[in-house]
Amino acid sequence: VIPVTAHGHVTAFIEFYTDHRVEATAEMLELVEAIGAELSRVAERHRAERELVARSREAHRLAMVASRTEHIVIVLDTVGRIEWVNDAFVRHSGFTLAEVRGKVTHKLMEGPDTDPQVVAQVADAILRGAPCKVDIVLYNRKGERRFHEVEGQPMYDERDRYFQYALLSLDLTERKRAEAALRESAEYFRALFDESPVPTIIQSAIDYRLLRANSAYTRMLGYGPDEIVGTDALAGRIHPDDEAAARELRESFGKDAVSARFERRMIARDGRIVWVSGHSVRFRDAQGAPHLMTVLEDITEQKEREAALRSAKEQAESASRAKSQFLANMSHEIRTPMNGVLGMTELLLGTPLSDKQRRFADAVYRSGEQLLEIINDILDFSKIEAGKLELDEVDLDPRALIEDVFEMLAPRAHEKRLELACRIAPSVPSAVRGDPVRLRQVLTNLVGNAIKFTERGEVVLEVNAEPADPPDPACAGAGAPRYRLQFVVRDTGIGIRPDALAKLFTVFMQADQTMARRYGGTGLGLAITKQLVELMGGRIAAESRVGVGSTFRFDVVLAAGNAATFAPAAAADVFAGKRVIIVEDNPTNRSILESQLRLLAIDCATADNGMQALELLRAAARAGTPFDAAVIDMKMPIMDGLTLARAMRADPQLASVRQLMLTSLGGDNEARVAHQAGIEGYLAKPVRQQELIESLARLLGAAPRPVEVQRVPALRGRRVLLVEDNPVNQEVARVMLEDLGCSVRLAGNGQQALDALAQEAFDLV
């Protein structure tokens, strides 16, 4: 076997021989020619093999590329049978190469929507070896409908012979869906924009040309689309008074603003002024250019209604002021004769009457008081509504004021056998500056309502105080410390429905309209209370559960007063070391009494009934630490106060314990029976703190510290000038003053009073 590389040497030898005409034998020449021919054949075969290997490597590289592309690649023979597919075909169709080799492509993947004409077009191109490009619907193994863009190219060998056909397919399903969604969105936007009843425009955010306007906008202003598209949105269509605000809004969009709301007047083609409320939003289009979309609402009718309402409101306010003035005048005119009715009735009750007459007079007096309460509510309301209610500011003792209110309301509570209790925290200052009349009015209303709507149980008032925020330095009296007094009125009454709580403080409204018939009232009390609390710098709120009870909370802000005005009646140190037992079945009252006594440095023990108290008293006596006094509630279960007092007097160990009895009833006979039982002190509930201190001081032999009290001078013999125009009230006041021993002279008006003062000397006017 001659190596292929020898071929060149043989060829060179023949050429040398030929060129130099070297003589050779015929046999030699024949042999050389035969060797050369064989070598040429061998060289040609090796060249063909090298080209085949090169084509094989190229085909391998192309196959690797085809396998990695996302396009589907299918290699067919010249009649359309599958010879090879790439990985993308397997992923999209669900068929493997082994399953599809030798099969016709469209037979595998055609479905009900596959166009047979397109299939025939591809088949014809394969048979002819011609290129093709079609869109076709095919189905994968799962039966899913897919859109494909298919391109076919014939493949030729090295001798330019057609031997294979390649199909390249791109799955356009998601693109088609996106295009469909985009078309749908565009169509939806077009319909929404053009057919919307809301006037809408789109303008450039660079030069503010109007790019698009819907039909609602053109209808609103009466312009055609061709007349306004391409023009400045402000040109001739904005009211001159609103142009500055509109340009300022544009400047804000030129900076950082992305949206804005506005109201402005626009001018229609026919000169009408159209009020619009607008909302502009900045956005960018597909090319990134900034645009503004503005949605407008025609509010012309609304503005006209508002103007009409303002006019009506002003008229109503004027009428309301006139009504308030009328109510104030009428209330005053009614109060004058009412004063006469009550005064004369009170004088009548002071004369000898039969039982029947006294009952009638009492009924007249109570009815008059109820009527006067209603008149007072109406007068207060009319003053508040007219803005004429002014608050006084004087030094007051909040403890004394609260105890006054409780003393006044105690008979109502005792009639219903309710426990009436008050807990005043040590933080409450001894003196503040405020309006005692209005603060008393608020407390009387809330505590009185609690008693009115409670059939059994208790009514409790809790009072706390904390420093208030410092006032404005520019305000008068800003240097004085201020306190926020917090009041909580809690009862166990009928409660209030949740739907009624919302309107509780509304004028002329009651929680339940049926209550007006059962309990009476105007529905003004809580409304007035709310406004009084707010005038005093506070807030009021209520919470309630039907059948469980209600809680009202309010606070007022008051400046500190002069504490020296209200000096304590007794020093706490006189009670230091004293031991007192409190016998009270009501836990609230028991806790309040204990707090009051501990403030005096008294060592306290408590018992909730008489039997428990006896055990504690005897145990203390046996231990050599007896109690000095006992504060006993008269009405208790198991053993009442009188029985306990008698048992203590009968026990030699307890006979020396001083006794102070508390009662909620306070009848004359009850007091007499208590004294007969050996009880040395007797107080009616609710107990004033000062009265409790003074009573214990007397019982324990600790004399109270003397207090400077400015007493009213004796009136007997004093000369009084009475100035009153109403004859009935003249008579009432004259009789009352004369009963006090005064000498009275009448004056019917101010001028008569001045004339009398010029002629005579009086002690009191």
Query: Is residue 155's pLDDT more than 50?
Result: yes
Number of Cβ within 10 Å of residue 473's Cβ equals: 7
**Angle between helix 398-415 and helix 436-452 axes, rounded to 10 deg:** 30
**Angle between helix 689-699 and helix 587-598 axes, rounded to 10 deg:** 70
User: Which region among 9-13, 211-215, 338-342, 408-412 has the lowest average model confidence (pLDDT)?
Assistant: 9-13
Query: Is residue 359's pLDDT more than 90?
Result: no
pLDDT above 90 covers a percentage of the chain that reads: 18
- Read off the tokens for 624: 């050599």
Query: Is residue 706's pLDDT more than 60?
Result: no
Contact 280, 249 (CB under 8 A): yes
**Interstrand relation of 681-684 and 658-663 (parallel, antiparallel or unpaired):** parallel
Burial (CB < 10 A; 0-12, 13-18, 19+), residue 470, is exposed
Question: For the stretch 291-324, what's the b/e string if a residue is b when 16 or more beta carbons lie within 10 angstroms of its beta carbon?
Answer: bbbbbbebbbeebeeeeeeeeeeeeeeeeeeeeb
Encoded amino acid at 357, one letter? Q
Could you tell me where the DSSP H helices lie in 278-352?
300-349
φ and ψ of 646, to 5 deg = -65, -40
DSSP state of 272: -
Query: Is residue 474's pLDDT more than 50?
Result: no
What is the C-alpha separation between 592 and 403, in angstroms, rounded? 13
- Read off the tokens for 438: 């209005």
Higher pLDDT, 751 or 711: 751
Mean pLDDT of the chain: 81
Burial (CB < 10 A; 0-12, 13-18, 19+), residue 554, is buried
Residues 6+ apart with CB under 8 A from 715: 737, 740, 741, 742
Could you tell me where the DSSP H helices lie in 129-264?
173-195, 215-221, 225-228, 243-253
Distance of CA 153 to the CA centre of its chain: 72
Give residue 569's pLDDT.
47
Give residue 759's pLDDT.
95
Contact 203, 233 (CB under 8 A): yes
Contact 428, 555 (CB under 8 A): no
Give residue 704's pLDDT.
45
pLDDT band at 165 (very low <50, low <70, confident <90, very high): very high
Number of Cβ within 10 Å of residue 11's Cβ equals: 15
What is the C-alpha separation between 747 and 764, in angstroms, rounded? 13
pLDDT band at 743 (very low <50, low <70, confident <90, very high): very high
What is the C-alpha separation between 528 and 13, in angstroms, rounded? 138
What string of DSSP letters covers 612-669?
HHHHHHHHHHHTT---SEEEEESS-SSS-HHHHHHHHHHSTTTTTSEEEEEESS--HH
User: Which region among 214-218, 494-498, 569-573, 738-742 has the lowest average model confidence (pLDDT)?
Assistant: 569-573
DSSP state of 233: T
Bridge partners of 84?
75
Structure-token match 């599958």, residue found: 82
pLDDT band at 707 (very low <50, low <70, confident <90, very high): very low
- Return the C-alpha torsion angle 296, 302, 303, 306, nearest 10: -150
Contact 266, 250 (CB under 8 A): no
Query: Is residue 22's pLDDT more than 70?
Result: no
In Å, what is the CA distance from 722 to each residue of 332, 712, 713, 755, 763?
A: 19, 18, 18, 13, 11
Strand positions, DSSP E, 77-204? 82-85, 132-139, 145-156, 162-171, 200-204
Query: Is residue 260's pLDDT more than 90?
Result: no
Query: Is residue 387's pLDDT more than 60?
Result: yes
Give the model confidence (pLDDT) of 234-258 as tens digits.
Answer: 777 888 888 888 888 888 877 767 7
ω into 686 cis (within 30 of 0): yes
Contact 435, 392 (CB under 8 A): yes
Strand positions, DSSP E, 316-453? 394-396, 419-424, 432-434
Give residue 562's pLDDT.
80
What is the C-alpha separation between 199 and 141, in angstroms, rounded? 52
β-sheet with 210-213: strand ranges across:
210-213, 200-204, 290-298, 273-284, 259-267
What is the C-alpha separation between 743 and 552, in angstroms, rounded? 48
Query: Is residue 475's pLDDT more than 60?
Result: no
What is the C-alpha separation between 473 and 448, in angstroms, rounded? 38
What is the C-alpha separation between 382 and 320, in angstroms, rounded? 9
3 state SS of 487: strand
Give the model confidence (pLDDT) of 508-529 as tens digits.
Answer: 555 555 555 455 555 677 888 8
Give residue 761's pLDDT.
94
Residues 6+ apart with CB under 8 A from 426: 599
Structure-token match 């007092």, residue found: 645
β-sheet with 658-663: strand ranges across:
603-607, 579-583, 629-633, 658-663, 681-684
Query: Is residue 758's pLDDT more than 90?
Result: yes
Query: Is residue 119's pLDDT more than 70?
Result: yes
- Return the C-alpha torsion angle 419, 425, 429, 432, nearest 10: -40
Pick the most confident of 349-363, 466-480, 575-589.
575-589
Contact 373, 448 (CB under 8 A): no
Structure-token match 């009021």, residue found: 540
Rounded to a whole number of angstroms, the distance between the first and last alpha carbons of the chain is 161
Contact 140, 157 (CB under 8 A): no
What is the C-alpha separation between 342 and 365, in angstroms, rounded? 6
Reported for 693-698, long-range contacts at CB under 8 A and 24+ positions apart, including other chains, are 693/569, 693/570, 693/600, 694/569, 694/570, 695/660, 696/575, 696/580, 696/597, 696/600, 696/602, 696/629, 696/631, 696/660, 697/570, 697/574, 697/575
Give residue 712's pLDDT.
47
Give the model confidence (pLDDT) of 26-80 as tens digits.
Answer: 776 677 677 767 777 767 776 666 665 555 555 555 555 555 677 889 999 988 8
Give residue 327's pLDDT.
67
Give the model confidence (pLDDT) of 85-94 as tens digits.
Answer: 888 888 888 8
Pick the most confident of 64-78, 161-175, 504-518, 670-684.
161-175
In Å, what is the CA distance from 637 to each residue of 182, 592, 640, 642, 643?
A: 86, 20, 6, 12, 11
Query: What is the mean pLDDT of the segment spanning 213-233?
Result: 82
Give residue 208's pLDDT.
79
Higher pLDDT, 605 or 588: 605
Query: What is the mean pLDDT of the segment spanning 438-460?
Result: 91
